[in-house]
Amino acid sequence: MAERFDSQKRLVCMRKHSFVACRMQYHSRCIYTSHSPRRKVIVITIATLGQRLSRLLTYDFCPWANQWVYWMKRPIASLSLAAVAALTCAVFVKPLALVAFGAVVLVVLLGYLWPAIAVRGLTCGLRFPQRRITEGESAVALVTIINRWPWPVWGIAIEGGFGGKFSAADNSSSNHGSVALARVPGWSTSEFQWEFVPICRGEYPLVPPTLVTGFPFGLRKASRPVTVQQTVLAWPRLIPLETLLDAAETRPSDDLFSDQRVGDSGDMSGTRLFRDGDSLRRVHWAQTARQGRMIVCERQAAAQSAIRVVFDSAPHLHRGISGEGTLEWSIRIAASVCAAYHRENASVECCFGHETIPLRSGSNGMKTFLDTLAKWKPCDNEHDPHGRSVRHGDGSRSEMSVVRHEAHCDHEHASHQCRRIHHRNCGVFQLTITTDLGLEHRTEHRHVHGDQRLIVLNTAAFAESCAICGEEHRPPNRLSIVLDRPDDVVSDFRRKWRQVCHAG
């Protein structure tokens, strides 16, 4: 009986405790629910007030006076004011202030003279063990510094030329990263190495690098040129393509066919059942209706197919900066298509700007082609060749003088040759890579004597007015490949390329 009474007592206590816990949980939930909207409002209000206070403290109330007060941001301005104040106190208050005046003058002289003295005794050489890499791969840079002074040198860095993770790969010297180095002992030869990842194609270093130092106070930077002993080429990234366009579109070279091989060109050699991946262009509809199954035609194989790949190189037709711009993606897509057809022993020709590059057979031909793409730089003209104003990415417009065919070009040729290219084979199938702006305003390779298919990188001109003429342009036909996902161009291009290759 006692054991039974104790067990019933424990059961009553457990129920009472569970009931109390449930009520406490219910009350806490009610309190949290009743106060959570109020807390959210308080947090949002504090964040809004913080943003307004930040804008108020950083707002430029007197922009016209910036040219008169910006000099005060430099350290030399503060030191000059301190020297004037110390000299004034020494003249009118107490001569002991001359000690402070002398200290300030010594700091200024040491900060201006010591960097030039230190860098004058240094000799720097830069080389890359690797000759060729691809975008996104790491490259090793080796730097050798010879110090002819008996004292060590601190605070040195190499600036310019590295457009990897340090900066964007453009040619402005202010956007190229710097690499800080450790102490260089006196009367010694030191070697440093580091890895960087180029985010864009090019020949690195992109600009001549310099060895700089601002030690000890950073009042002045003294520089010395770096001797580049060996450069490295960053090839454009290649997108793997599993399938190619139907060979019936790429016209055979010299009408050469093989009776021993089955392909997609020439005379029909027979029929067979449909297989996954076959193009709908090859379906024999009469046999399909007669037998109730998909039947495709087999034709002779071309001895060698021919294709020309063209991409627009005019900067005013592209948008974006660095390695994520439409120009760089056009180069990557063109290189990927050329590499895919080159592996199939096709006759490939790539055209851009004023250049026409026929790809030679073998690995050396592909290597030479990728080297040319890595070294190529577009003409330095951002305006429309018809003299119209161009709207930049930030929405601003710049009025250009009316220039027909006199656009500035840095290449060693006449400017009109950028848009007048004569091909050896004008009846070959052409794959053109352009942007939505280039559909209406491009001047390169507009006249096509053979079949053509377009790959269009969308810069939002289909949804709003054009940045060049201000008008709305209609999208391309259904046979074109329109890439409208800038955040994932690779998967978008591979998916739509596969659909076009299979569906025809």
The DSSP code for 184 is: B
Q: Residue 246: its pLDDT value, please? A: 62
* Buried/exposed code over 61-100 (b: 16+ C-beta within 10 A; e: otherwise): eeeeeeeeeeeeeeeeeebeebbeebbebbeeeeeebeeb
Q: Give the Cβ contact number of residue 347 at 10 Å.
A: 21
User: Closest Cα partner for 277 from 240, 241, 243?
Assistant: 243
Q: Let me know whether 373 and 491 are in one domain.
A: yes
Centroid of chain to Cα 288: 49
pLDDT digits 0-9 by tens, 184-234: 999 999 999 989 888 899 999 988 999 999 999 888 899 999 999 999 999
CB 257 within 8 A of CB 251: no
Q: Let me know whether 425 and 466 are in one domain.
A: yes
Q: Let me know whether 212 and 331 are in one domain.
A: no
Burial of residue 298 (CB within 10 Å: 0-12, 13-18, 19+) is: middle
* Residue 332, domain member (yes or no): yes
Residue 347 has pLDDT above 50, yes or no: yes
Most confident of 64-78, 197-211, 243-257: 197-211
CB 299 within 8 A of CB 264: yes
Q: Let me know whether 313 and 380 are in one domain.
A: yes
Q: Let me know whether 449 and 485 are in one domain.
A: yes
User: Which structural domain, as residue segments, surrounds residue 114?
Assistant: 74-118
Q: Let me know whether 495 and 433 are in one domain.
A: yes
Q: Let me know whether 289 and 203 are in one domain.
A: no
Q: Residue 259: its pLDDT value, please? A: 58
Q: Let me know whether 421 and 475 are in one domain.
A: yes
Q: 267-271, 321-325, 416-420, 490-494: lowest mean pLDDT where?
A: 416-420
- Which of 275, 302, 329 is the C-terminal boundary of a domain? 302
- For 468, the 3-state DSSP assignment is coil
- Which of 281, 302, 323 is the C-terminal boundary of a domain? 302
* Residue 294, domain member (yes or no): yes
Q: Which band of pLDDT confidence, cut at 50, 70 and 90, is reported for residue 464?
A: low
Q: Residue 265: its pLDDT value, please? A: 59
Q: Let me know whether 180 and 277 are in one domain.
A: no
Domains contained in the chain, number: 4
Domain containing residue 315: CATH number: 3.40.50
From CA 184, how far away is CA 216, in angstroms rounded? 15
- For 345, the 3-state DSSP assignment is coil
* Residue 36, domain member (yes or no): no
* Residue 10, domain member (yes or no): no
Mean pLDDT of the chain, nearest integer: 77
Residue 424 has pLDDT above 90, yes or no: no
The DSSP code for 412 is: S
* Residue 180, domain member (yes or no): yes
- Which of 217, 235, 253 is the C-terminal boundary of a domain? 235
Q: Let me know whether 365 and 486 are in one domain.
A: yes
From CA 63, how far away is CA 238, in angstroms rounded? 48
Q: Let me know whether 437 and 485 are in one domain.
A: yes
* Residue 31, domain member (yes or no): no
Strand ranges in 283-344 using DSSP code E only, listed in sequence order: 295-302, 306-311
* Residue 242, domain member (yes or no): no
Q: Let me know whether 223 and 274 are in one domain.
A: no
